[in-house]
A and B are shown apart, each in its own frame.
Chain A
Amino acid sequence: QVQLQESGPGLVKPSETLSLTCTVSGDSISNYYWSWIRQPPGKGLEWIGYIYYSGSTNYNPSLKSRLTISIDTSKKQFSLKLSSMTDADTAIYYCARGTVTVGNFDYWGQGTLVTVSS
């Protein structure tokens, strides 16, 4: 069974950089794209971006200038760095596995709440 687990700080100060890591278990990291998705309180889901196992990336244009997603295939981990955090970035952050041929997200992590506050 594929499992994804997010890890990282639950509290980030305004203007700082958020760093989250997602660890994948139960299957190969190859041949999928690995995504970050978030949900602000009381709002809907927002796709943040993804990285293919080869390292190519695709980012949400609204976050692109602040976003870096990287992958470490040897550790079966991928990571998110989002800079210049503001209140608007407070959200539950999910990592998810995306299927290349279908375009959906078939496995999700449990999510981690990130709060931006001084």
Chain B
Amino acid sequence: QSVLTQPPSVSGAPGQRVTISCTGSSSNLGAGFDVHWYQRLPGTAPKLLIYVNSNRPSGVPDRFSGSKSGTSASLAITGLQAEDEADYYCQSYDNSLSGHVFGTGTKVAVL
């Protein structure tokens, strides 16, 4: 029931920059609802990585950054590190569903 679309996977060499897109619609991102990003390391619970489009919680490295424009959002990881191998999910609120929605998820691989 994901209404936010993400690429299934992205990859990059250590030190490179990768971006993950999150595409929504007029009932969620396009309606002005904020986007949030989560990192799910293997075998662990999701961790809040970016909130309200571009803000980092305390303790999240500034290698992670987020942005939102219209019906799309993106997460960028600069200076990719091996420890960044994880699944990443965007999340927002949807008017039509009257509830929270998650993206389809993106697996980041460090080559």
Contacts and interface: CB of A to CB of B under 8 A. Distances in A.
Interface of A: 35, 37, 44-47, 49-50, 58-62, 94, 98, 102-106, 108-111
B39 to A, nearest CB: 11
B57 A44 contact: no
Contacts of A62: 1
Interface stretch (B16-24, B78-86, B90-98): B90-98
Given A45-B105, A94-B46, A104-B91, 6 more contacts: A47-B100, A49-B99, A58-B98, A59-B99, A61-B98, A102-B51
B34 A58 contact: no
Nearest to B87: A44
9 contacts: A37-B102, A44-B2, A47-B102, A59-B99, A98-B100, A102-B36, A105-B46, A108-B45, A108-B47
A116 B91 CA distance: 27
Interface of B: 1-2, 33-34, 36, 38, 44-48, 51-52, 57, 89, 91-93, 97-105
A36 to B, nearest CB: 11
5 A-B pairs with the lowest CB-CB distances in the bound complex, closest first: A104-B36, A47-B100, A45-B102, A108-B45, A44-B105
A61 B94 CA distance: 12
Contacts of A35: 100
A44 B103 contact: yes
A93 to B, nearest CB: 11
Given A47-B100, A61-B97, A61-B99, A94 B45 contact: yes
A103 B103 CA distance: 15
Contacts of B97: 60-61
A60 B99 CA distance: 6
Contact of B104 (A44, A61, A98, A110): A44
